[in-house]
Structure 1
Amino acid sequence: MVLSGSKPKFIFSSVLFFVAILSSNAQNNNHDAFHIAITVDTKTHQYYGSFQTGTPSHNVNPLIDLGGSLVSLSCNTSSSTLRFVPCKSTKCKDLKGVCGSNGACTLSSYNPIDNSILSGSLSDDIVTIHKTDGTMVYADTNSTHLDISCVKSKSFNGILGLGRTSLSLTTRLSSAFNIIPKLALCLPSSNDNGFGDLFIGPGPYMFEGGADASDWLQQTGLVRSSKSDEYFVDVKSVKIDKRIVHIDSSLLSLNSETGVGGTKITTTAPYGILHSSIYKAVVGAFAKSAAARNITRVAAVKPFNACFSVKGVHWTELGPRVPLIALELSGRMGSVSWKINGANSMVRVNKNTLCLGFVDGGLKAKTSIVLGGLQLEDNFLVFDLSTSILGFSSSLKPGTCSHFRNF
């Protein structure tokens, strides 16, 4: 459960709040980035973007997959601008596609919704996304042909892949409009006060009062794995209430050749996932620190193993006052700390019980630490693919990613 107090709002607001009428000259300005509004399913901690595609255009709401390899949408065969890529084309060969029954290039991609493999025809169609200059989101849009995977399923909402690949939305938009390959993400914890944000392109990312979020983000390097298109960071240690948790350091390092170990950031896992040995150490240290605060451990509630009574727990602007988890990472001038406060570490499973929002991934877990949706909500993250740098805010609270934007 995410609790909030006073909320500093972004300058960006939705069309429901205010519509800015732009002159024809303003519409011809060269805005440097694109914006997609984000909504959240609060029960599943899954996040959905909203934009338009096809001719005539229609709205789509695909699942946001930070590590996804491409954009997969349900086939809109009525679109007059939909074009399939032939399987004998150079593009298909470069992407290692195969021939489909219709002669179109067919690609496979991972579906995180049900852990299946998606098969879709590589095609291109018009995609229409709102422009932004970092101060406001503009009523005018840019429409361009982008590569998508056309999946023949009426029940499929789509997947918005943002991974480190040639076909991700980040790469395709950056290439099409010659802008810096950068994405900024602000996942909302609720839809009560508006929407979250996905920006593709450079900042600024302005807050009320004229503050540019890119000026005060902490920074750490992104680690690349030859076996994955996802985003990894190099966690050096884990602390709970400023005390180091004793963890096998070999698990914290990512083996770039095998893809084993390391710390991954993902939008599709609802909660954090820890290798069993790390989970045991973290839970033990967390429970010990909680007991020192007179917080009582109670029976587990699936899928969580570490649960606590709400009796005696106080709530603050940062969520329930529980032991602070901090991930220590390498920064430009020494170590930097990603602080995970109660709002991003705890799940209220019923009126009497709070559970630690991490689950045991088992001893054979490929990735040692996974930061899921709960850990990312109401945090501001900037992934700069040109420099391989991650900028992160830790929790924005008492602020929130749920807000209205100027349109």
Structure 2
Amino acid sequence: MATYSIFQLFIFSFLILKSLSQTHPSPKQPPKSLILPVSKHPSTLQYTTQFNLGTPLNPQTLLLDLGGRLLWIDCENGYNHSSTYRPGLCGSAMCSAAKPIFGCELCLFSSSKQGFCNNNTCLVAIENTITTTVQFAEIAIDTISIGPFTMVPNFIFGCASAWLIKGLDSGINGVVGLGRTRIGFPTQLTSRFGGTFRRKFALCLPSSTSKSNGIVVFGDVRYVFYPNYNKSKLIDLTTSFSFTKLLVNPVTTADDVQGEPSADYFIGVTSITINKKPISQINTTLLSIDKNGFGGTKISTVKPYTVLESSIYNLVTENFAKELEAMNVARVAPMTPFTECFSTKNLKYNLVGVEVPNIGFVFENEDVYWELHGANLMVEISREVVCLGLLDGGLNPRTSIVIGAHQLEDNLLQFDLAASKLGFTSTLLEQEVECANFIV
């Protein structure tokens, strides 16, 4: 075993402390950015993050919901009593921000061991978007802690009962909503830290369920990664984004609130290509948001795979299969939940996954498009079979295209709320980079 002198230990300790002081802001200075880890659960394909809530610190594992209106947790079983907890009393500023659905109410649920049943509190409707169930929940505030130094006091959240977390993976205590609302997670962080904390966040979902984490980065940073083949090499992707507008759907797309714009992030897809060939037969009226809030394209982290309106789905899968047929790739029997499955016998693999036709979402003009490659298109069922990771959403769905999580993995997305635009890089795998390779 190696031995060290007192001088060596002193130098080592000094370097560690110096590194920490450079990496993390002083507790007295507001941060310019904050980072949350993102994990993928293998059984449910749900994406979660972790931080602490309350005083003393109470670790929380929460579902990451890109379009969720707010942070909510199970206050019956997943939240120990906190000295900094305060109920949202009727008439308070936090109630006004949360847009309660009723006036003052009696206890929402009985929870004598926790002490979170309060009279004269305002209620909001909150939704478990995995199960699409809705519950009324008390509004409250408490302190959240992100990393070793950053405390965010008076954070508004919904205090729900244990019933609402049914359908979430084991160990998940609630939901972090990143949606475009006054009490969405990104907006609350910006309002707490002021002008130096930019109203933007970046999302990078991990593709692995075991070895790696992704990230959500709030505020303004440089997006620097290292390639898998050399951890000492730096790849700066800060200026590598293409941009498209973030659209506002004026009608809510959620089941938990009415009378306000959707909290979801919509983008203006104008056409779809297969190997850069436009699919001309698509009914383009489905790609626009109508006056009732139907149609259009949104991005989701709670849908495991992209869901397309039936006529769009049929055209995309038909054209995709024709391209594979020309490559002498054989179709095989469907594998639930997928209908389009293929033999891997004549398929090859490269840095971006299996070599299949690329699918592109075209935006304002033909020069702005987001192209999906093999790793984001195909789902490996076995060594012999892969399936196209798209699902049929039926006729007349609320939203015509919902871009799901599998299509987002190892892509870096930047949601600039102040400028109302989305930055996207396409797959990082082209540079042998994964979301887990972000340099903190």
TM-score normalised to structure 1 length? 0.88
Deviation at 1:186, TM superposition (A): 0.5
How does 1:69-84 map onto structure 2 within 5 Å? Answer: 69-75=69-75, 76=79, 78-84=81-87
SS of the equivalent of 2:270 reads strand
SS of the equivalent of 1:286 reads helix
- Contact 1:183/1:201, CA 8 A, preserved across alignment: yes
Q: Percent identity?
A: 36
Q: Which residue is equivalent to 1:198?
A: 216
Q: Which residue is equivalent to 2:90?
A: 87
How does 1:218-367 map onto structure 2 within 5 Å? Answer: 218-227=242-251, 228-245=262-279, 246-255=281-290, 257-330=291-364, 335-367=367-399
SS of the equivalent of 1:22 reads helix
Q: Which residue is equivalent to 2:105?
A: 100
SS of the equivalent of 2:425 reads strand
Between 180-189 and 198-207, report the one with greater CA deviation: 198-207
Deviation at 1:120, TM superposition (A): 1.5
Q: 2:237, 2:44 → 1: CA distance?
A: 28
Deviation at 1:162, TM superposition (A): 0.4
Q: 1:319, 1:307 → 2: CA distance?
A: 16
- Contact 1:191/1:402, CA 8 A, preserved across alignment: no
How does 1:4-83 map onto structure 2 within 5 Å? Answer: 20-22=19-21, 27=26, 28=28, 30-75=30-75, 76=79, 78-83=81-86
- Aligned partner of 1:393 among 425, 428, 431: 425
**RMSD of the alignment, in Å?**
2.2
Q: 1:399, 1:278 → 2: CA distance?
A: 32
**1:43-94 residue CA offsets vs partner (Å, 9 max, x unmatched):** 3321101111111101101100000000001223511111001124354255
Change (3 A) 1:229 1:258: same
- Aligned partner of 2:128 among 111, 122, 126: 111
**1:175-203 residue CA offsets vs partner (Å, 9 max, x unmatched):** 11012211110000114443111011122
SS of the equivalent of 2:434 reads coil
Deviation at 1:352, TM superposition (A): 2.2
Q: 1:37, 1:155 → 2: CA distance?
A: 24
Deviation at 1:100, TM superposition (A): 3.1
Q: Which residue is equivalent to 1:370?
A: 402
Letter in 1 for 2:193: F
Q: 1:369, 1:66 → 2: CA distance?
A: 15
**1:200-228 residue CA offsets vs partner (Å, 9 max, x unmatched):** 11222223455442311110101110111
Higher strand share: 1
Q: Which has the higher contact order (CA 8 A, sep 6+)?
A: 1
- Contact 1:303/1:359, CA 8 A, preserved across alignment: yes
TM-score normalised to structure 2 length? 0.81
- Contact 2:297/2:400, CA 8 A, preserved across alignment: yes
Q: 2:303, 2:225 → 1: CA distance?
A: 28
- Contact 2:134/2:164, CA 8 A, preserved across alignment: no
- Contact 1:38/1:187, CA 8 A, preserved across alignment: yes
- Contact 1:42/1:189, CA 8 A, preserved across alignment: no
**1:247-293 residue CA offsets vs partner (Å, 9 max, x unmatched):** 111111122x3211111100000001000000000010000001011
**Runs (5+) with no aligned partner, structure 2:** 1-15, 107-118, 166-172, 227-232, 252-261
**Runs (5+) with no aligned partner, structure 1:** 1-17, 131-138
Q: Which residue is equivalent to 1:141?
A: 150
Change (3 A) 1:114 1:106: same
Higher helix share: 2
1:207 partnered with 2:225: yes
SS of the equivalent of 1:216 reads coil
SS of the equivalent of 2:415 reads strand
Change (3 A) 1:251 1:166: same
